[in-house]
Amino acid sequence: MFDESDRTAVADAVTEMLTTGALTLGPWTERFEQAFAAEHGASHAVAVASGTAALEIVLRTVGVRDRDVVVPAVTFYATAGAVLHAGGRPVLADVDPETLALSPQTLEAALTPDTAAVVLVHIGGLITPDVDGLRAVCDRRGIPLVEDAAHAHGSGYQGRTAGSFGLAGAFSFYPTKVTTSGEGGMILTESAELRDEARIYRDQGKGSFTTNHHVRFGASWRMSELNAAVGTVHLRRLKEFVETRRRVAQRYDAALVGLDGMRPVLEPAGCRSNYYKYVALLPPGVDRAAFKRAVAEEFGVRLSGEVYDLPLHHQPVFGPYRGAPLPVAEDVCARQVCLPVHSDMTEDETDQVISAVSAVHGRLAG
């Protein structure tokens, strides 16, 4: 969602960079880094090519090669994919049914003597109230906690923002995200050492931008100036977008609580979600495909993609890392749907979704 003033600002920025010829690692990248860090109360930010690259760079800096990294089974492919690309072994863990995130209990069950890092994922923008407990488990064992905050721009818990609970947070700016740069990612950290390493890794492992002196096995993970300009402009709307999404979510909460067997994944006490996704669990036994088809065909409401329809240990590519059954992850992935939430969503559109979900639930769950 870019209004006329946003489009004008981006166009002016593009004209500026095409005039100067600075198309990568220039002033717009620095502006975006500074603005995103300030928005989240972080000391350091490093802009990169994607959220996946952000996570892989952090894991490479930590040093996970030939070691284990605990990852929740309820997350996108890229969370575990980044572990493998960094040379580590993903250990897939079950989640808490109330938050869809790791809990101290599921983390303890997944830790091994060779665990190098733990990745906490903020699904849909929700930050688990167990975040301090998870950090404590990691600290006792000397293991870094890394946040996959791809969904969590502007989300917080007890006054702290996503990206501030562990060693570093990795954000995505894919076009569907609350704030987008078209493509891109960002690393937030309080560690100046990690910041410096990330800058090396993102530019083919070069010790400096202007030389061919390579000191790390990096890759082409730079963010272009065009993407940085788009992100800088869009970031100005983050608070506005989050407020709109939160109003929609509050109305969904009130409506769904009265539907027997339907369970919204509610915002925990102390959490302030950006509601990148609004997740609800269908009653046991309700066919998800039939439910989604009915609300689309009968009411013109298309439910957005689940987060996620398959747990990682059921994804074919992660077959070698399947391990034991993870019953909570399997259950929530089988039953979840995501109700539409948009940064410009109107009350009429929200009412349309509520009417559709209520009517179809009454028929299929009755």
Match domain 238-364 to its CATH number in 3.20.20.80, 3.40.630.30, 3.10.20.30, 3.90.1150.10: 3.90.1150.10
Nearest-angstrom CA–CA distance, 339 and 248: 10
Averaged pLDDT in 10-residue chunks for the chain of 366 residues: 96 96 96 98 98 98 98 98 98 98 98 98 98 98 98 97 98 97 98 98 91 92 98 98 98 94 95 98 95 96 93 96 95 97 97 96 84
- CB of 139 closer than 8 Å to CB of 130: no
Tell me which residue of 280, 4, 31, 305 sits closest to 174, measured CA to CA: 305
C-alpha dihedral (201, 207, 213, 219), degrees to nearest 10: 10
Helix axes 51-62, 77-85, angle to 10 degrees: 40
* Sign, Cα dihedral of 312, 316, 320, 324: positive
Contacts 24+ apart (CB under 8 A), 29-38: 29/223, 29/225, 29/228, 31/228, 31/232, 32/181, 32/186, 32/223, 32/228, 32/229, 32/231, 32/232, 32/235, 33/186, 35/232, 35/235, 36/171, 36/186, 36/188, 36/231, 36/235, 37/188
Among all chains, which residue has been given the structure tokens 């990248």?
29
Which pLDDT belongs to residue 116?
Answer: 98
Domain boundaries, the chain: 4-235, 238-364
**86, 60 Cβ separation under 8 angstroms:** yes
Tokens of 108: 């303890």
Burial of 45 (0-12, 13-18, 19+ CB in 10 A): buried
State the CATH architecture for 4-235.
Answer: 3-Layer(aba) Sandwich (3.40)
pLDDT of residue 366: 65
